[in-house]
Amino acid sequence: MGSEARPFFAPVPKASGWRLFLKTVVARAYPRVVGQQRERSWIFFDVFLSILAVSAYVFVYRAIGAPEEYVGFVVVGGAMTAFWLNVLWSMSSQLYWEKESGNLALYIMAPNSMMAILLGMALGGIIATALRAAAILLVGSLLFHVQYAVGNLPALVVVFLLTLAALYGLGMMSASLFLLWGREAWHLANLAQEPIYLLSGFYFPVKNLGFWVAVAASIIPLTLGLDAMRQLLFPSGAALGFLTVPVEVAVLAVLCVLFLVAARWLLGYMERMAIREGRLLESRR
């Protein structure tokens, strides 16, 4: 009786620093990965509708007698649309949707980093989206008999990873902008969808837009990423490419750093504004 009572459960040490960051990333990635298994019909319709869009361009190119490599360009571009749509709807508009559902206040009050929250969403989205992109690429390649000639696989992997890093960095940055713009975020997301398809050259070589238009479109990571991947995947890709692969890899690396730094600054600005003024959590009157 004289001994001190001990708690039945030992206290759990609080995570901090990089441990808290990693736990937050895993916690936010988990629902997106698991959620894809609960609505498997979404995967079917996403692949089916994407194949329909790819098929339309393939039939047009074959009707006008375009080079056969253009069919491969369309299939690769159709696969990459899955990543762009994921960034547009599941990253850029995410914080606005969280505000509408009442979760944004919890995110800002939590001791973890907003960068960790968005990074977890990005990783979970990449895993789910990669399955859709792979299915589109596989079905499109088999359906239209696309022939690939991969001469430098490590360079292809580097280009793909840099493209995703820059693309999701852009998504993190625009998430804060969309939130600050308020209700216009939904309209801006709809407005940006089709112009990006055109400027990024999803279904044709971006070189055909002209040099300066292609330069302006290069701010979108998919523009140079798609161009570099096509050069590495097809024999005539280099002749139809906009810039050389090393130059495009260098620009993609710069875009990665630029977008991630900008995303960190904007998220910090958003948190400071929310805590100081409450402008993001409740309407001001």
- Say which residue, 66 or 37, is predicted with more confidence: 66
Structure confidence by residue, pLDDT tens digits, 42-59 = 777 777 777 888 888 888
Residue 54 is assigned to a structural domain of this protein = yes
Please identify which residue in the block is written with the tokens 């910090």: 268
- pLDDT over 70 percentage in the chain: 85
Compute CA 146 distance to the chain's CA centroid, rounded to the nearest angstrom: 25
| Of residues 165, 179, 92, 96, the one with CA closest to residue 126 | 165
Residue 284: per-residue pLDDT: 47
Does residue 206 fall inside a structural domain? yes
pLDDT tens digit string along 100-113? 777 777 777 777 77
What phi, psi does 61 have (nearest 5°)? -60, -40
* Helix 153-181 with 221-233: angle, nearest 10 deg: 160
- For the ranges 70-79, 102-111, 260-269, the maximum mean pLDDT occurs at 70-79
* CA dist., res. 123 & res. 1, Å (int): 53
Average pLDDT over residues 224-239: 87
The amino acid at 227? D
Q: What's the CA gap between 242 and 258, in Å, rounded?
A: 22
Q: Is residue 14 part of a domain?
A: no
Average pLDDT in the chain: 80
- Residue 1's pLDDT is 47
Looking at the domain assignment, is residue 11 inside a domain? no
Average the pLDDT over 55-66 and give the result. 88
Would you list the DSSP string of 86-138? HHIIIIITHHHHHHHHT-HHHHHHSSS-HHHHHHHHHHHHHHHHHHHHHHHHH
Q: What local confidence, expressed as pLDDT, does residue 29 receive?
A: 79
Helix (H) or strand (E) holding 215: helix 211-217
Mean pLDDT calculated for residue range 251-277: 83
Assign 7 a pLDDT band (cuts: 50, 70, 90).
low
Please give the structure tokens belonging to residue 32: 């997106």
Q: What is the pLDDT of residue 254?
A: 94
Q: How confident is the model at residue 158, as a pLDDT?
A: 92
- Cβ atoms of 170 and 84 closer than 8 Å: no
Residue 17 confidence (pLDDT) above 80: no
Q: 192: how many CB neighbours lie within 10 A of its CB?
A: 16
Whether 80 contacts 202, CB under 8 Å: yes
- pLDDT over 50 (residue 282): no
* Separation CA 225–CA 221 (nearest Å): 6
Q: What is the DSSP letter of 145?
A: T
Dump pLDDT digits (tens) for 162-218: 998 888 888 888 877 777 776 666 677 777 777 888 888 888 888 888 888 888 888
Residue 218 inside a domain? The answer is: yes
Torsion sign (Cα): 83, 218, 199, 245? negative
pTM above 0.75, yes or no: yes
Number of domains in the chain: 1
Residue 4 lies in a domain: no
Nearest to 167 by CA among 98, 49, 80: 80
Residue 241 has what DSSP assignment?
-
pLDDT band at 283 (very low <50, low <70, confident <90, very high): very low
Q: Which residue range is the domain that position 72 belongs to?
A: 39-277
Say if 151 falls within a structural domain. Answer: yes
The sign of the CA dihedral 66, 72, 78, 81 is: negative
